[in-house]
Amino acid sequence: MSDCCKCKGGKKGEAPAKEKPVEKKPELKGFKVIMVRHGESEWNKQNLFCGWVNVDLSDKGKEEAKCAGEALKKECAKFDVAYTSVLKRAQITCDTILEVLNQKDIPIVKSWRLNERHYGGLTGLNKTETVQKFGEEQVQIWRRSFDTPPPPMKCDHPYFEEIMRDEIYKCGPPMEEFPRFESLELTIKRCMPFWNDCIVPEIKAGKKVLIAAHGNSLRGIVKTLDNLSDEEIMELNLPTGIPFEYTLDDSMKPVPGGSMRFLGDPETVQKAMEDVKNQGKKTKEDTKEEGKGEKK
């Protein structure tokens, strides 16, 4: 369990330690948006490339989603509308947060455009084994480069049919545009029209917006908001289940000091980011692998 859910108090029988008064920074003025990457998924836990495979949250991921809700509750967050992908790991995270906040009745808009990037032929492969086979440098390029896509998903790939025929895609993308792989650049190309056309008008109308999505679709939004270079975005690894806030001006750029603010203690956030970065170095012991994503 991450720190946000831990009760802070003294030992049994002792009076709880007095908490230091927190110095409150003056609230930034501007449009507030909260984003969160879904909690740990079953395939994050098993260290598998996931992309568009529709896997569940792990138990830890469900707990992370609750903690995200608790962190937002502490901030007295109140949302008017939530956006999520068509993948259940993001939707469950979104629902859990709204349940904790007792705000389950707000509209939730789901779009494939907020999906994780499509991992093509790497889908279902173990990240450590992929490093062992292709080398750390190549896997880093596939995972984090801006414009180098993973190899395409061929028609005989074990997850090809399952993804292509999934009902969740009945509203798009159209068959002729259905991705077989995506770089971050391609992910941004399909994600940003949704940000610009659907989310931005609501933000500008003064609505409080929650976006529960994925590591790479959110990296795409963050790259654009913060105007990060193709090199800078390679270094950003978003932790699972820790919400972050942006405060934006009228042109949807962060106001001074309004860039990514995590609602978690900095050490926990840093550690969680390092863990995502180092997934290719995880051993099977680390992941306590229970089964593979590879279909027989």
Which CB atom, from 50 or from 272, has the smaller least distance to ligand 2PG?
Answer: 50
Q: Does 64 bind ligand 2PG (CB under 6 A)?
A: no
Q: Does 116 bind ligand 2PG (CB under 6 A)?
A: yes
Q: Does 276 bind ligand 2PG (CB under 6 A)?
A: yes
**Sign of the CA dihedral 43, 51, 224, 209?**
negative
Active site annotation includes 116: yes
Q: Which stretch binds ligand 2PG (CB under 6 A): 20-28, 48-56, 94-102, 153-161?
A: 48-56
Q: Does 51 bind ligand 2PG (CB under 6 A)?
A: yes
Structure tokens at 7: 């009760």
Q: How far is CA 284 from CA 125, 126, 174, 290, in A?
A: 13, 10, 38, 9
Per the CB < 8 A criterion, the answer to whether 54 and 88 are in contact is: yes
Active site annotation includes 157: no
Q: Does 40 bind ligand 2PG (CB under 6 A)?
A: no
Q: Does 157 bind ligand 2PG (CB under 6 A)?
A: no
What is the distance between the alpha carbons of residues 26 and 42, in angstroms, rounded to a whole number?
Answer: 40
Q: Does 92 bind ligand 2PG (CB under 6 A)?
A: no
Which CB atom, from 93 or from 103, has the smaller least distance to ligand 2PG?
Answer: 93
Looking at 63, 64, 116, 182, which residue is catalytic? 116
Q: Is 285 exposed, middle or buried (0-12, 13-18, 19+ CB in 10 A)?
A: exposed
**Sign of the CA dihedral 192, 194, 197, 199?**
negative
Task: Please give the order of strands across the beta sheet that includes 31-37.
Answer: 108-110, 81-84, 209-213, 31-37, 244-248, 261-262
Binding track over 212-241 against ligand 2PG, x by CB under 6 A:
---xx-------------------------
Q: How many residues interact with ligand 2PG (rule CB under 6 A)?
A: 11
Q: Does 168 bind ligand 2PG (CB under 6 A)?
A: no
What is the distance between the alpha carbons of residues 124 and 115, in angstroms, rounded to a whole number?
Answer: 16
Please write down the long-range contacts of 12-21, taking CB distance under 8 Å and 24 or more positions apart: none
Q: Does 179 bind ligand 2PG (CB under 6 A)?
A: no
Q: Is 280 annotated as a binding residue?
A: no
What is the distance between the alpha carbons of residues 8 and 265, in angstroms, rounded to a whole number?
Answer: 14
Give the residue numbers annotated as catalytic, written as ranges. 38, 116
Residues within the annotated binding site for substrate?
37-44, 89, 116-119, 127, 143-144, 215-216
Residues within the annotated binding site?
37-44, 89, 116-119, 127, 143-144, 215-216
Q: Which parts of this chain interact with ligand 2PG (CB under 6 A)? A: 44, 49-51, 116, 119, 143, 215-216, 276, 279
